[in-house]
């Protein structure tokens, strides 16, 4: 359960990082 939650948070952070990179 915790592992899935951590993975989900990591995915959200990664998508946010990519969005910032594409749209400075």
- Residue matched to tokens 């915790």: 2
Whole-number pLDDT of residue 24: 65
Return the pLDDT at 1: 73
What is the predicted pLDDT for the residue at 22? 84
pLDDT value at residue 18: 92
Question: On the CB side of 20, how many CA atoms lie within 13 Å of its CA?
Answer: 6
Per-residue pLDDT of the chain (24 residues; tens, 9 = 90+): 788 898 999 999 999 999 998 876
Where do the H-state alpha helices sit in 1-24? 2-22
């Amino acid at each position: 359960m915790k592992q899935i939650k951590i993975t989900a948070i990591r995915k959200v952070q990664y998508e946010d990082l990519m969005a910032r990179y594409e749209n400075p």
